[in-house]
């Protein structure tokens, strides 16, 4: 498609957008009395309007039924989380029994390390990407030290080639093969939070498995954003937060994938609790733990229903739309944003550098060469909610559920004005 940097063209794209009505399903903040252009769905998704209905239902059941709400509410609380497994399985490309919802992301990664980081004197190393998100770095370091190893020896960071901005899959595979039988675990972010690069999950998972390592994925920036086929790609496990592209609210519950090969087994090490034992006998209060035959075996406590309710509200929309439609719009709107950036760059003789490769999801990370923090501040003051990363990168993530093509055009005009006015 040939794009044009005009309001009319952007509005025509919106008129043909099959998802255009979902924009009205979300609450938008306002700046200067105008609805914002929201580019930070990769940090916190907007609130779906139907969220309140789902929360109110739980609140009212608690008011009217009290403890009986566990079994007699419209959506009984004791199995509330089970309603999320099916829709989530479609989003991540898994079998329903391989998915559960519990805790928060880093908590879940620590718990999954109990099962999937089992170092020996020979096989003890972890491969992760260079400059992984800080919470992942802290997790790796604390896990390695907990097991009595030196992080400098046990943690292998995948570096990019000198002068390059992106990781090459062949380099990752080569490093996996080089570490070989010393490698205990490969654990990488499916989409890099800084550059927006999408990793080749299938190829990397295959390489890790070929040398006898476990392979897991932090999918915080991937779920609800890119196509995933976790079961088909043979990953051992994965975890993700739900408050970015999944729109479930700040700090909300995390999703977990555990490959079916580990389900229904008593000999898989894990930290265990009441909610992981068999549903049929849970209230018999047996002293022996009998694991659920699905990913719920990793549940420790009952799910916080008031937190999970917004997640279910959002998943209802994912069920209605489906990932293929979201990805189709994502590809077009990100391409249009990229076009707008190049157009403005040429018009004002600035120097933008998009550091996100073509293997990408919703996010474009942009170096603002010659510009500084004041340009970011100008954008924010003029209703463009974006994200600043040092030294001079803005991250732009037009989520397809609620961002419009007109937003992309308007952003370009505001960006152009900020540069011309010399806010830097």
pLDDT higher than threshold 70 for residue 207? yes
Tens digits of per-residue pLDDT, 318-359? 999 999 999 999 999 999 999 999 999 999 877 789 999 999
Mean pLDDT of 128-155: 94
Instruction: Write down the pTM of the prediction.
Output: 0.96
Q: Please say which residue of 260, 286, 321 terminates a domain.
A: 321
pLDDT single digits (tens) 284-294:
999 999 999 99
Same domain for 331 and 383? yes
Domain boundary among 305, 321, 337: 321
Strands 364-369, 393-396: pairing is antiparallel
Instruction: Give the pLDDT band of residue 203 (cuts 50, 70, 90).
Output: very high
Asked if residue 423 has pLDDT above 70, the reply is no
Q: What is the average pLDDT across 125-143?
A: 93
Residue 295 φ/ψ, nearest 5 degrees:
-65, -15
The answer on 25 and 59 residing in a single domain is: no
First to last CA, the chain: 34
Pairing of strands 26-27, 30-31: unpaired
- In a shared domain, residues 224 and 369: no
For residues 207 and 249, state if they share a domain.
yes
CB burial string 281-293: b at 16+ within 10 A, e below? ebeeeeeeebbbe
Neighbours of 119 (CB within 10 A): 18
Is residue 269 within 8 Å of 115, Cβ to Cβ? yes
Last residue of a domain, one of 302, 321, 340: 321
Q: Tens digit of pLDDT for each residue in 56-112? A: 999 999 999 999 999 999 999 999 999 999 999 999 999 999 999 999 999 999 999
Assigned domain for 44 exists: no
Query: Does residue 424 register a pLDDT over 60?
Result: no
What burial letters (b/e) apply to 339-362, b meaning 16+ CB within 10 Å? Answer: bbbebbbeeeebebebbbeeebbb
Residue pair 251/104 in contact by the 8 Å Cβ criterion: yes
User: The CATH number of the domain where 250 resides is what?
Assistant: 3.40.640.10
Same domain, 140 and 239: yes
What's the pLDDT band for 373 if we cut at 50, 70, 90? confident
Residue 1 domain-assigned (yes or no): no
370 pLDDT band, cuts 50/70/90, is confident
Mean pLDDT of 347-374: 89
Residue 337 lies in a domain: yes
At 131, the pLDDT band (50, 70, 90 cuts) reads: confident
The pLDDT value recorded for residue 359 is: 94
Question: Using an 8 Å Cβ cutoff, are 329 and 397 in contact?
Answer: no
d(CA 337, CA 232): 32
Say how far apart CA 122 and CA 119 lie, in whole Å. 8
- Whether residue 11 is found in the same domain as residue 57: no
H-helix segments, 265-322: 305-321
Side-chain-side CA neighbours of residue 197 (13 Å): 20
**Is 185 within the bounds of a domain?**
yes
| Euclidean distance between CA atoms 193 and 387, whole angstroms | 11
In a domain, 366, yes or no: yes
Residue 170 and residue 254 in one domain: yes
Residue 46 lies in a domain: no
Separation of alpha carbons 39 and 395, rounded Å? 8
Any domain includes 140: yes
More confident position, 380 or 371: 380
Q: Tell me, yes or no, whether 317 and 327 share the same domain.
A: no
In a shared domain, residues 76 and 201: yes
> Residue 416 belongs to a domain with what CATH number?
3.90.1150.10
Same domain? For 280 and 340 the reply is no
Q: 71 and 21 in one domain?
A: no
Q: Give the chain's mean pLDDT.
A: 95
Is residue 2 a part of any domain in this protein? Answer: no
Total number of domains in the chain: 2
Could you list the residue range(s) of the whole structural domain that residue 245 is in? Answer: 52-321
- Domain shared by 342 and 314, yes or no: no
């Amino acid at each position: 498609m040939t794009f044009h940097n005009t309001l009319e063209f952007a509005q025509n794209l919106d008129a043909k957008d099959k998802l255009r009505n979902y924009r009205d399903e979300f609450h938008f903040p306002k700046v200067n009395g105008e609805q914002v252009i929201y580019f930070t769905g990769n940090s916190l998704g907007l609130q779906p309007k139907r969220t309140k209905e789902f929360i109110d239902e739980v609140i009212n059941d608690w008011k009217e039924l009290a403890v009986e709400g566990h079994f007699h509410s419209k959506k009984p609380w004791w199995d509330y989380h089970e309603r999320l497994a099916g829709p989530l399985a479609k989003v991540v490309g898994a079998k329903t029994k391989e998915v559960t919802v519990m805790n928060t992301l880093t908590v879940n990664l620590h718990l999954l390390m109990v099962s999937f980081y089992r170092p020996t004197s020979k096989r003890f190393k972890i491969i992760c990407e260079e400059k992984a998100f800080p919470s992942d770095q802290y997790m790796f370091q604390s896990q390695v030290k907990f097991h009595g190893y030196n992080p400098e020896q046990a943690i292998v960071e995948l570096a990019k080639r000198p002068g390059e901005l992106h990781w090459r899959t062949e380099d990752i595979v080569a490093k996996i093969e080089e570490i070989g039988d010393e490698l205990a675990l490969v654990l990488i972010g499916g989409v890099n939070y800084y550059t927006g690069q999408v990793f080749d999950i299938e190829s990397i998972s295959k390489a890790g498995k070929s040398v006898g390592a476990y392979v897991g994925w932090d999918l915080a920036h991937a779920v609800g954003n890119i196509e995933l086929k976790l079961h088909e790609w043979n990953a051992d496990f994965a975890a993700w937060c739900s408050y970015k592209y999944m729109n479930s609210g700040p700090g909300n519950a995390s999703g977990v994938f555990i490959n079916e090969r580990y389900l229904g087994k008593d000999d898989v090490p894990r930290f265990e609790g009441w909610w992981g034992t068999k549903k049929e006998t849970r209230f018999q209060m047996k002293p022996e733990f009998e694991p659920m035959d699905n990913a719920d075996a990793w549940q420790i406590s009952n799910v916080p229903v008031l937190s999970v309710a917004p997640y279910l509200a959002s998943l209802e929309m994912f069920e209605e739309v489906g990932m293929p439609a979201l990805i189709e719009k994502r590809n077009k709107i990100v391409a249009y944003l990229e076009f707008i950036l190049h157009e403005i760059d040429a018009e004002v003789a600035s120097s933008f550098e998009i550091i996100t490769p073509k293997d990408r999801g919703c996010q474009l990370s942009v170096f603002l060469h010659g510009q500084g923090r004041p340009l970011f501040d100008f954008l924010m003051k003029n209703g463009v909610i974006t994200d600043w990363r040092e030294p001079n990168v803005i991250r732009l993530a037009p989520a397809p559920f609620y961002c419009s093509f007109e937003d992309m055009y308007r952003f370009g005009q505001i960006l152009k004005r900020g540069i011309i006015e010399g806010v830097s």
